[in-house]
């Protein structure tokens, strides 16, 4: 019996088997580009461009930095990569649909998340950390629904049932400039995500090295 395969050929020339992923099957540039070309909200937007998962990931990272101003490269890297599986899969499933896709989809995502965690040395979530992450992610969703997609605040609360208020100021503008809430072109999203990814990866490696050498 032939084993099923779901290969993706990446821009770097590497190939990724989505059903049996390895931490060495992609380059950082592949991941950044995949996230920049994967769109939230089903690709719908009130702006000329849809919102990429790469831009969303940088948004959530900035929310963490506002809450925890003391740098923690490994925790920040974990935050940046919280949706990284979507960049490899090329699909951001609307959250309410995930239960309908069944156990096979959940297993697919789990394997991708494990490969990503191994590749980047991501720490696990504590219960408190995960709760705070989900809160930031939901605040981002509330904000995106109103400022990017075009839902009213009333619809966001009553139809989407998101129990958070949208932000009034775009935290990405302070870092990158531009028009508040406007989705970036894919090439810009990819470049900005890649820069942050490589910076945090280097910082996380340096943070681990002293503790290893100390033993």
The answer to whether residue 194 is domain-embedded is: yes
**Domain count within the chain:** 1
The answer to whether residue 9 is domain-embedded is: no
The answer to whether residue 184 is domain-embedded is: yes
CB-based contact 64:78 (threshold 8 Å): no
The answer to whether residue 6 is domain-embedded is: no
- Region 6-33 average pLDDT: 96
Query: What's residue 94's pLDDT?
Result: 84
DSSP-assigned beta bridge partners for residue 39: 52
Query: What's residue 208's pLDDT?
Result: 63
The answer to whether residue 133 is domain-embedded is: yes
CB-based contact 121:74 (threshold 8 Å): yes
CATH number of the domain within which 32 lies: 1.10.3210.10
3-class state of residue 8 by DSSP: strand
E strand or H helix at 91, and its extent?
Answer: none
Number of residues that this document lists for the chain: 215
Q: Residue 212: is its pLDDT beyond 90?
A: no
> Which domain range does residue 113 map to?
23-209
The answer to whether residue 15 is domain-embedded is: no
Backbone angles phi, psi at 82, to 5 degrees: -65, -20
In tens, the pLDDT along 120-178 reads: 999 999 999 999 999 999 999 999 999 999 999 999 999 999 999 999 999 999 999 99
């Amino acid at each position: 019996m032939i084993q099923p395969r779901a290969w993706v050929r990446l821009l770097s020339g590497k190939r990724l088997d989505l059903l049996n992923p390895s931490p060495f099957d992609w380059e950082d540039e592949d991941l950044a580009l995949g996230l920049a070309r994967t769109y939230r909200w089903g690709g719908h937007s009130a702006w000329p461009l849809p919102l990429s998962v790469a831009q969303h990931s940088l948004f959530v990272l900035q929310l963490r930095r506002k809450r925890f101003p003391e740098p923690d490269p490994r925790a920040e890297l974990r935050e940046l990569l919280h949706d990284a599986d979507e960049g490899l899969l090329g699909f951001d499933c609307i959250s309410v649909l995930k239960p309908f896709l069944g156990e096979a989809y959940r297993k697919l995502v789990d394997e991708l998340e494990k490969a990503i965690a191994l590749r980047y040395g991501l720490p696990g979530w504590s219960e408190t950390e995960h709760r705070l992450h989900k809160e930031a992610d939901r605040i981002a969703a509330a904000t995106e629904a109103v400022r990017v997609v075009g839902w009213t605040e009333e619809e966001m609360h009553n139809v989407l049932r998101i129990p958070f208020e949208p932000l009034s100021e775009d935290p990405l503008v302070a870092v990158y400039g531009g028009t508040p809430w406007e989705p970036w072109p894919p090439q810009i999203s990819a470049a900005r995500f890649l820069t942050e990814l490589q910076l945090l990866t280097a910082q996380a490696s340096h943070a681990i090295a002293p503790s290893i050498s100390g033993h």
